[in-house]
Amino acid sequence: MRNAPTILHLDMDAFFAQAEQASKPSLRGKAVVVGGLGPRGVVATASYEARVFGVHSAMPMAQARRRAPNAAYLVPRFAFYRSISEQVMGLLRELSPLVEPLSLDEAFVDLDAGGAAWDSDSARLAGIRLRADIRAVTGLTGSVGLASCKMLAKIASEQAKPDGLVLIEPGTERALLGPLPVRTLPGVGPATGDHLRRAGITTIDEIAEAGEDELVRLLGKAHGHALYAMALARDDRPVVAEREAKSVSVEDTYDVDIHDRVRVELEVQRLADRCVRRLRETGLSGRTIVLKVRRYDFSTLTRSETLRGPTDDPAVVREAAARLLDSVDTTGGVRLLGVGVSGLADFTQEDLFAQAAEERTDGPEEEPAEEPVGEVPVPVEHQWRPGHDVRHAELGHGWVQGSGLGRVTVRFETPESEPGRVRTFRTDDPGLEPAQPLPLVRRRPEGDGVGDESASVPPVPGLVSDAGPLPESESSARELSAERIGYTE
């Protein structure tokens, strides 16, 4: 434990939903829910306006629609969120070389390692400047917690939500933690919370009073020791700059169970190719191929095969995944499929996929097909997903409000415009095409004061224990996989 609150925890406020509101003027101040829109989709993030109706992350989308029928329901734009996250993480790395990202919207920063803070006053000033810079660069808000350890910094940022800053002074940790519910501590989920409640333990003070031996008896040695240490505000975990990836995987949940075995095989091949693309994007390879199958009855099977060495060859991964699928019975139907690669390395074992290459080249050579003459080009068929960006040849930039029955409804507006007008088109309208998201904030010229110590710090509401205009405190959504929210690329 340090003697100064130089561990900072940043958590962006309702990140996905806030980004959508910032990019769509007509949704600002309104209930917005981001997630999978299919029958099995779940909520990834709900705006604070939607949380008033009881909508929260990980809730089934059908339940969210019943609670907030008039909210805007949008499909996630992960590439857009990642681009904003990169801007935010860049600001954090200007504060310190020790930045530990936990997700797209959350990270720890060791301010002392970068010389950005050494006592309470300098730490508070660093937090103020960070929040101001994030707002200036991205147009979004984030909540900041400052404390002498990671656990307390995370608790502080939770109390600061939304759009606030909370600093826990060294020496006051036990008094602050004592009356809080046991679920406040990391690692205490519903099951552990219920177990402690049945033993008469509902607050962190009562955990400390129960004693370490009693906690070990109730929860086991490892969990009991860890929970007792946290109740006493003991957390010596350092901020780790690089968190090594252990695996790369992709998963899809299907709105309707797949019964056709050929379709299942094709889906596995497609997932294998997607997994390899992600693997190559990170510059890694792997030697263990993993197949995940969730069947109609929610039973989940996992099969794996370890190769002689690491590879990033799509043919090798496809063939290994196909072999693993051979051992799985999918007769009753499949609701989820996933392919992953673990045992990661930064090199490939070339001779691993020689056999796959030979198999691809064996057999009679196919003669090149003659190019058709005078064939009429087939128009590209687009999928118009609610919330995604489009551009019209005459009307400019907009976003999809909804589609169906051969029609797509578009609202034409940009992050810097007034709420725009709505138009409806045929889904095959030649003037309408998908577009890239527009930046939330125009690029500022150098020397505008952002990140400059000589610049005056603008007043930022919600400092210390003032958590801004909304009283509700709830964690912003974490990055969920496309499978988790029922979204298929």
Q: Give the catalytic positions in this structure.
A: 106
Give the helix, strand, coil percentages of the chain, each rounded to 5. Answer: 35, 25, 45
CA distance 81 to 390: 17
Q: What does DSSP assign to residue 330?
A: -
Dihedrals φ, ψ of 25, to 5°?
A: -55, -30
Q: Is residue 302 within 8 Å of residue 288, measured between CB atoms?
A: no
| Beta-sheet pairing, 72-74 with 43-46 | unpaired
Residue 268 one-letter amino acid: V
Least Cα distance to 388 among 74, 104, 28, 61 occurs for 74
How far apart are the two ends of the chain, measured CA to CA in Å?
44
CA distance 239 to 236: 10
Q: What does DSSP assign to residue 203?
A: B
Question: How many residues appear in the chain?
Answer: 489
Inter-CA distances, 33 with 47, 124, 296, 300, 477, Å: 6, 33, 27, 28, 11
Q: What does DSSP assign to residue 484?
A: T
